[in-house]
Amino acid sequence: MMKFRFRRQGADPQREKLKQELFAFHKTVEHGFPNQPSALAFDPELRIMAIGTRSGAVKIYGAPGVEFTGLHRDAATVTQMHFLPGQGRLLTLLDDSSLHLWEVVHHNGCAHLEEALHHQPPSRPGFDGASGLPSLARITVVLLVAAGDLAALGTEGGSVFFLDVPTLTLLEGQTLGPDEVLRSVPDDYRCGKALGPVESLQGHLRDPTKILIGYSRGLLVIWNRAARCADRIFLGNQQLESVCWERSGRTLVSSHSDGSYAVWATDAGDSPTTQPTVATTPYGPFPCKAISKILWRNCASGEHFIVFSGGMPRASYGDRHCVSVLQAETLVTLDFTSRVIDFFTVHSTRPEDEFDEPQALAVLLEEELVVLDLQTPGWPAVPAPYLAPLHSSAITCSAHVANVPAKLWARIVSAGEQQNPQPASGASSWPITGGRNLAQEPAQRGLLLTGHEDGTVRFWDASGVALRPLYKLSTAGLFQTDCEHADSLAQAAEDDWPPFRKVGCFDPYSDDPRLGVQKVALCKYTAQMVVAGTAGQVLVLELSDEPSDQAVGVASVDLLQDREGFTWKGHERLSPRTGPLPWPAGFQPRALVQCLPPAAVTAVTLHAEWGLVAFGTSHGFGLFDYLRRSPVLARCTLHPNDSLAMEGPLSRVKSLKKSLRQSFRRIRKSRVSGKKRLTAASSKLQEANAQLAEQAGPHDVEVTPVQRRIEPRSADDSLSGVVRCLYFADTFLRDAAHHGPTMWAGTNSGSVFAYALEVPAAVANSDRRPERAVEAVLGKEVQLMHRAPVVAVAVLDGRGRPLPEPYEASRDLAQAPDMQGGHAVLIASEEQFKVFTLPKVSAKTKFKLTAHEGCRVRKVALATFASVACEDYAETCLACLTNLGDVHVFSVPGLRPQVHYACIRKEDISGIASCVFTRHGQGFYLISPSEFERFSLSARNITEPLCSLDISWPRDAMRARPQESPKLSQANGTPGVVLGPQSRSGSPDPTRSEGTDTPELPEATLSPTSVDSATSADTTLDTTGDVTVEDVKDFLGSSEESEKNLRNLSEDEARACPILIG
């Protein structure tokens, strides 16, 4: 069924050019710690490190800002990685035994990572009949010899193959089989038993012709490749796990499956050697777990380092993840909270140096990277400038603050430094410093705030490529929990042996789930913030440069307003501590507001200029004057049938069943009513279409599909009273002649409440408590026709621009809003955007996103887009993320579609829920529990790696390379992204800002106010209870419907859409 619309012929080429200068979509960088790491490598010459993952991703890190990312075409686990020293090339081994050679290639001064070659060896005889080469069993270990030109491949069958690395081809005639080794072994050792797989290959630092081969059975062989014979043989009888060759070559150390290690002398006695010089079980005498890897590093002082992983007593500490560091009589057992993947030491590798002299130990764990300074007494941990685990406690919400003032930035950094004081010697420094960051210093600073399950809020420097931790705020100290008692019991039960030392910050366990942070809001001009939690707690905090002891005032707000018939069945409220409490320098609580019932806070907003904070839950919303420490307003939004809101988060199974039942009832009802209206409606529509067809010519119309019919939602839907957004604005609400403070609240049932506020003048000018209280009077109440949940509310001034943030206009930090023309309010629901005039609240224009696109709104933000062609031109637009993972941009206030991009996979429900937009057209979303993907919608404001690497290749290694990087998927599987840190033109663009923020433009100064959904994002990770019925419907939609949902309006179609008033 089609209908006709008249439109202007053709698109505006001037506007199309302008859109290209304003909008462009790029996925730029992945912040955080790689998800599911599986391999580690370090280049001591270039001082760069590589991490491989189970999904096949390869990430190379150097100095802060130096990052390279690649992805294998096959999503296989990276099991081993090896750098070709000083060449910027990396050899990777996957679990399917395929080998891949990666190169850091420079184009126009900038470097990016490319896969140059790959080799899949035949796994069985006869698979590669053309070559005639012997087949390889599964490759167990790789060793680079002869400066990286040659690689030795140890296999599960006990053979050692040799590979020409520049061409990735096997060398014929050099294969070393187990039978050839067994000829040099005494008969009594053979006993008819196989040597087993090759467990370890080690090269001699000064003699590249010698290779140390360790077999699983325990046999160690020093093989001379030039003479093709065994120089020395060591007859070990314990199952081998790892071998390390001491720098001088005179000592070997081997680790075994029974938790022991043995030291062998290579220049003493006759060959074969049957007994080691030293054999010990560090954590014996009881049975111990295997020592999976061991390193020996010598020092000029004679006190050598022995570093090994595992070896813990099996019965008592078999579940611990440990790395032990032994030097002389000092033994430290590093106790981690996640599995050890691999580790390396940063030490001298120059052949002319006699000693290793290790400087640092880097340990890659499954959830974090820990670096220890081995040159400072006590071996302290080195703070990481990047790769910090975002998920040290599960992320529950996030927010972004742009253009942070320099004074506030310095105070936050100072508070963070006091939390983690560094040793006075200053020797601790990050050892991975390779490459050069070519990106310009960001003109403005951007903060990323993450709320966590354990009640902490972490502050991150999101100004550049490296996401650097700045400060951690903990709210748990304000409440009484059982964690102190549990910690004391754990410490009392801990023995002095082994000498455990807790290392790392990954702690996924929360002492009390009620501490979880749900919403965060920060005022960057007054250094005040609001943190709201799972048990209805709302904290107002203020930044202080000095520690203090003070009591926190507590106020309760009953959101039910004594309504009868409702009984809270969820968790209890948190009990606050009484009396003065010690608070370190940083954000210190000033007031605590407890919502009753203690349901999770779903929306919060702060207006520091008025001294007000608004908060909402599933029961209603409240307004609190934190200067007077007194509640101003409490409004219940519950429907009489909304009993589900009283059951708490533990009754989500009933919620899902009830919601599905109601959904099916609505579908059945719509089908029945649709059949009744079908005959009459179709005949009338055919007559109308026939008349239009006769009047209009074929070139004057365009044919578009009929809008989807959206059934109105029932007023008694479950959780209809949930408050979705809150907003403060100075606008016209009572009449067109007088403006004043207002508060707006939107709910899940499509209701919008607007309150006129009477704020005493003293609040805006001082921090003293005014004598007169703040008053709130209901001014307007809007009910959307389809009762779709209200996602965001924003007021536009007389020029159609969003109002500035608190203090921006009064302190001349932004142009004052236009108070002469008529204001308007933009209400964004899950199904449409609508602009109403103020104060009459009459519909002005709207865009039905669900009717046109078949999708629903999940996140909304007002952002400023600066032009790349003209520095003084910028536009304010509405950015929207849908449940299909698409990002749409609309003009404001006309609501005309500008561009749309596929950003997130629609199956990635957690990623969509975690998305947060910035004020200048960028965004973040979680691609894993530990990684944020950063993307940009702006053609000018892009934050991406721009770096170079000083590499030197052998002359015979130079060859022709492809002209451009292959377009592969990123580590999270999102397609269509060029894997390379180069700019779009191949060189750093001086007109592009590399920070999250750009200097304020004339247009931008009025418009960067982000809406509630833009500054605070809910995240549902690792919890199935927070998945809504709508999310399940999105995932289970038919393929035919998905095809329709993915169809987007072109510019011509957008111009043809009529503006609907009413």
pLDDT tens for each residue of 697-727: 444 333 344 566 665 665 555 688 999 999 9
pLDDT of amino acid 484: 52
Cβ-in-10-Å burial (0-12, 13-18, 19+) of 985 comes to: exposed
pLDDT of amino acid 148: 80
Tell me which architecture the domain covering 36-121 has in CATH. Answer: Beta Barrel (2.40)
- Per-residue exposure over 434-458, b if at least 16 CB sit within 10 Å of its own CB, e if not: bbebbbeebebbbbbbbbbbbbbbb
pLDDT of amino acid 986: 38
**Model confidence pLDDT, tens digit, residues 419-445:** 987 654 444 689 999 999 999 888 889
pLDDT of amino acid 771: 75
pLDDT of amino acid 1060: 31
Integer Cα distance of 202 and 184 in angstroms? 19
Integer Cα distance of 395 and 457 in angstroms? 9
Cα distances (Å, whole numbers) of residue 1033 to 660, 663, 722, 1027, 1041: 10, 10, 20, 11, 11
pLDDT > 90? residue 903: yes
Cα distances (Å, whole numbers) of residue 337 to 294, 364, 841: 20, 12, 56
- Which of 52-66, 177-191, 651-665 ranks highest by mean pLDDT? 52-66
How many CB atoms are located within 10 Å of the residue 675 CB?
9
- Which of 169-173, 567-571, 617-621 ranks highest by mean pLDDT? 617-621
Please check whether residue 1054 is in contact with residue 897, taking contact to mean a CB–CB distance below 8 angstroms: yes
Q: Which residue has the higher pLDDT, 343 or 206?
A: 343
Please check whether residue 461 is in contact with residue 467, taking contact to mean a CB–CB distance below 8 angstroms: yes
**Model confidence pLDDT, tens digit, residues 90-105:** 999 999 999 999 999 9
**Model confidence pLDDT, tens digit, residues 683-698:** 544 554 445 444 444 4
**Mean per-residue pLDDT for 445-472?**
96
Percent of residues, the chain, with pLDDT higher than 90: 62
Q: Which residue has the higher pLDDT, 148 or 807?
A: 807
**Mean per-residue pLDDT for 470-487?**
80
- Per-residue exposure over 796-810, b if at least 16 CB sit within 10 Å of its own CB, e if not: bbeebbbbbbbbbbe
pLDDT of amino acid 995: 45
Integer Cα distance of 836 and 830 in angstroms? 17
- Lowest-confidence range among 22-31, 166-175, 559-568, 1022-1031? 1022-1031
Q: Which of 717, 728, 505, 516 is nearest to 614 (CA)?
A: 728
pLDDT > 90? residue 268: no
**Model confidence pLDDT, tens digit, residues 340-397:** 999 999 999 888 888 999 999 999 999 999 999 999 999 999 999 999 999 999 999 9
Integer Cα distance of 929 and 1019 in angstroms? 10
pLDDT > 60? residue 764: no
Integer Cα distance of 96 and 1018 in angstroms? 39
How many CB atoms are located within 10 Å of the residue 1055 CB?
17
How many CB atoms are located within 10 Å of the residue 676 CB?
9
pLDDT of amino acid 489: 42
Q: Which fold does the domain 135-246 belong to in CATH?
A: Methylamine Dehydrogenase; Chain H (2.130.10)
**Model confidence pLDDT, tens digit, residues 581-594:** 999 999 999 999 99
Instruction: Decide: helix, strand or coil at residue 523.
Output: strand
The per-residue pLDDT of the chain, averaged, comes to 82
Q: Which residue has the higher pLDDT, 186 or 723?
A: 723
Integer Cα distance of 860 and 313 in angstroms? 54
Tokens of 554: 């507590």
pLDDT > 70? residue 8: no
**Model confidence pLDDT, tens digit, residues 498-538:** 899 999 999 878 778 999 999 999 999 999 999 999 999 99
pLDDT > 70? residue 659: no
Tokens of 764: 């805006």
Cis ω before 272 (30° cut-off from 0): yes
pLDDT of amino acid 973: 41
Please check whether residue 654 is in contact with residue 644, taking contact to mean a CB–CB distance below 8 angstroms: yes
pLDDT of amino acid 41: 97
Please check whether residue 938 is in contact with residue 22, taking contact to mean a CB–CB distance below 8 angstroms: yes
Q: Which of 237, 302, 241 is nearest to 275 (CA)?
A: 237
Task: Name the amino acid, one letter, at 140.
Answer: T
Name the band, by pLDDT with cuts 50, 70 and 90, for residue 109.
confident
Name the band, by pLDDT with cuts 50, 70 and 90, for residue 983.
very low
Strands 340-346 and 947-948, sheet pairing: unpaired
pLDDT of amino acid 507: 86
Sequence spans of domains, the chain: 36-121, 135-246, 281-386, 388-479+497-563+571-636, 713-760+773-847, 855-950
Q: Which residue has the higher pLDDT, 471 or 984?
A: 471
**Model confidence pLDDT, tens digit, residues 212-253:** 999 999 999 999 998 899 999 999 989 999 999 998 888 999
